[in-house]
Amino acid sequence: MTLVMGIVNVTPDSFSDGGRYLDAGAAVSHGLSLRAQGADILDVGGESTRPGAERVEPAVERDRVVPVVRALAEAGVVVSIDTMNATTALAAVEAGARIVNDVSGGLADPELLAAVAPTGADVVLGHWRGPSADMYAQAEYGDVVAEVLGELARRIEAAAAAGIAPSRVILDPGIGFGKRGDQNWAALRGTTRLAGLGSRVLIGTSRKRFLAETLTAEAGAEYTDVGEDRLDLGTAVTSVLAAHAGAWGVRVHDVAATVDALRVARAWEGESRWASPTRSR
């Protein structure tokens, strides 16, 4: 059964829900609500990675996320920390996080992989070609899937060299990161091939621009006119398709919609047709 990772943004500027849960109490309450809706994992982040976002000082990031991680972990939640900083990753793991989700795959902070290695935490390695402030500068591909697979394979090697066994690695093709429009769809169509590298695969399409562009392509409307309800429907559909392609997990804002969509899809096709991921330790 594909796992659902709920998003808890403890930020003032995330592209979808920035500022709603900046207060630690509000973030914890939101996280517990997502768990009640069926989230298997909660991904707590204190730094926006939206296009154009500037970096946040690690000390500020830690102040935002550590109290939230600790409270959710104490409540029995499986917590992932969404960070590109080694110091934040370590502080979050010490507070109870069991997964480190680095959208840069260990490239933004060269110390992260080695720092996390002795903790035993699982690590999400995202496909990344540069910081959010200029993430589209290198969105040039000859073969999107082949290049994403090749670059992530090298991140697996880097993690192993740092002491992180392949069994602890989760791969994320970085939908929306350094990819424009149809490049994201191509990367998604490569999910089965990505799973073929032997690691678990996490897919995150939630409320991203390429969905809005797709929904408005034939209507002549601006992608910014697409509301969250339509984006969440698109997210639920892509999450079902990702699960069918073998994804271990899907990362979403609207947990309830995705949980329902996955439940209906499983009923239609039967459990045997779906991925059976190893649950987080």
Give 156-196 pLDDT, tens digit per residue.
999 999 999 999 999 999 999 999 999 999 999 999 999 99
Please pick, among 62, 70, 209, 251, the residue that the annotation labels catalytic: 251
| Known active-site residue 207 | no
Q: Closest Cα partner for 136 from 146, 125, 128, 124?
A: 128
What does the alpha-carbon distance between residue 48 and residue 53 come to, in Å, rounded to a whole number? 6
Q: Is the dihedral of CA 83, 203, 9, 223 positive or negative?
A: positive
Any bridge partners for residue 82, and if so which?
A: 45, 101
| Known active-site residue 251 | yes
| C-beta neighbour count of 236 within 10 angstroms | 24
The length of the chain in residues reads: 281
Taking only the tens place, the pLDDT of each residue in 196-243 is 999 999 999 999 999 999 998 866 666 767 789 999 999 999 999 999
Please pick, among 35, 208, 209, 266, the residue that the annotation labels catalytic: 208
pTM of the prediction? 0.91
What does the alpha-carbon distance between residue 230 and residue 237 come to, in Å, rounded to a whole number? 11
Q: Are 124 and 155 a contacting pair, CB within 8 Å?
A: no
